[in-house]
Amino acid sequence: MASVPEHVLMNEALIEDLQKVAKDTALLHGVLMRTKETPNSSEVVSYAPFTLFPSPVPRSLFEQARQVQTHFNLLVDRISQDAEFLEQALASTIKVDDFTARLFNIYRQVIQEGCSQPIVLGLNRSDYMLDLGKDGNTSLKQIEINTIAASFGGITSRTPDVHRHILKVAGRVEEQKKILDNNPAAGFAEAIAKAWELYSSERAVVMFLVEDVQQNIYDHRFVENELWSRDGKEVAIVYFRNGYMPQNYTEQGWEARLMMERSRAVKCPDISTHLAGTKKVQQELSQPGVLERFFPDDPKAVAQIRATFAGLYSLDMGEEGDRTVAMAIANPDHFVLKPQREGGGNNIYGEDICQVLDSVKENLERSAYILMDKIRPQPVRNYLLRSGSPLKLSTCLSELGMFGAYVRQGKGMVLNECTGHLLRTKSAEHSDGGVAAGVAVLDNPLLI
């Protein structure tokens, strides 16, 4: 049974008025996306989809996610420097997953040639859901960490003021105080500017590598504009907002990726950091003793990271993988099957898990996936505002993300911060999919 926050228990006339105010307020504050009909034109835009009200999030779990983010930044960076670990972790995956294999081939080549640039820039986002246990207690469980094209750090910086205004109009003034300021774009820009400063060439530029279809252009523009407001100069970074899916690449595209990796430019992410964010690496990190490899002298950091892990299981060939297959087929509703893909909408649920595993359980193809315990968050009720969709009260599930930024030069960490947060909410009828996929909408945590 979904709990119903007090702020949604309002009469229909007020809700109708509030949604009109909300849409106008979103437009006023720049919570914008281009339309699907004209994704490369700013002549016609609409509001980015968002919730009418902020969704409740326990303050203690929010703080847990915020505080562990700098540890995750360090973990990703240390994985990216550990060639032996990456080779071992991805050995089975690259035999059956062509996309990961091609990324790994680029990685091997640049490792053999030697590091062309000692400056490393990381902009990532660690995503969580709040798991309601059988004991009635809620815990923070990580879904994944995004080390390439961590999106919505720009637009989400403008949504707190939108929800504050909605609550004010609704007469919920005290609840305004429970919405935090949030500007991930500023933190990302700070890290990019620091990497440019270390690069030491005023003639160099930042290149935003983006998709051909640019419906989400304003999310990029917020970061770009924060950069201009800091120095107004040309900068020296390759910032990937694209390149995480097979369809992003042609043969010429693979050649360009190799060229960029071999260049002196600071890559965000570089190829090793891209690989550090794969699902297989996530699963390997959950094994006993693996985190200690990266934090040998910091048991507190190990404990904080491990506390966020859900159950993760290998599907590699062998007895362990056989047990995972049998466990998943016996109780498919307890798990999520994950391929080595980013961008949302790729995960497999329910009886579809049985169909996929039945088709690959006897061959190496199963190594292209990992299995994860299905997280069961507490549903809430909210209105999802999306252009062209009717206004209705929906049963919703939320996903909390924490943005992280770091800059390393050689062996020295120059900057390591949690730069902000992202809350995305979707109707409980959808198993998977993000904002760009047209399923989730932007939200803000109402800390309780």
Catalytic residues: 125, 144, 146, 151, 279, 338, 342-343, 424
- Give the DSSP H/E element, type plus range, for residue 118: none
Residue with tokens 């900057």: 415
The span from the CA of 397 to the CA of 381, in Å, is 9
The span from the CA of 186 to the CA of 168, in Å, is 26
The span from the CA of 345 to the CA of 431, in Å, is 9
The span from the CA of 201 to the CA of 236, in Å, is 8
CA nearest 404: which of 70, 76, 148?
70
- Beta bridge partners, 409, equal 119, 412
Size of the chain in residues: 448
- Beta bridge partners, 120, equal 408
Buried b / exposed e across 206-227, counting CB within 10 Å, b at 16+?
bebbbbeebbbbbbbbbbbebb
Q: Which amino acid is at 394?
A: S
Give the CA distances from residue 7 to residues 36, 145, 174, 381, in Å, rounded to whole numbers and listed in that order: 32, 32, 11, 10
- Give the DSSP H/E element, type plus range, for residue 124: strand 119-132
Handedness of CA 436, 438, 442, 445 (dihedral sign): negative
- Cβ(128)–Cβ(400) under 8 Å? yes
- Beta bridge partners, 403, equal 125, 420
Can you read off the two tokens belonging to residue 277?
A: 């964010």
- Give the DSSP H/E element, type plus range, for residue 174: helix 173-176
Report the SS3 class of residue 331: coil
CB within 8 Å of 318: residues ≥ 6 apart:
none
CA count, 13 A, side-chain hemisphere, 188:
38
Q: What is the DSSP string of 43-56?
A: SSEEEPPEESSPEE
Residue with tokens 């993988």: 321
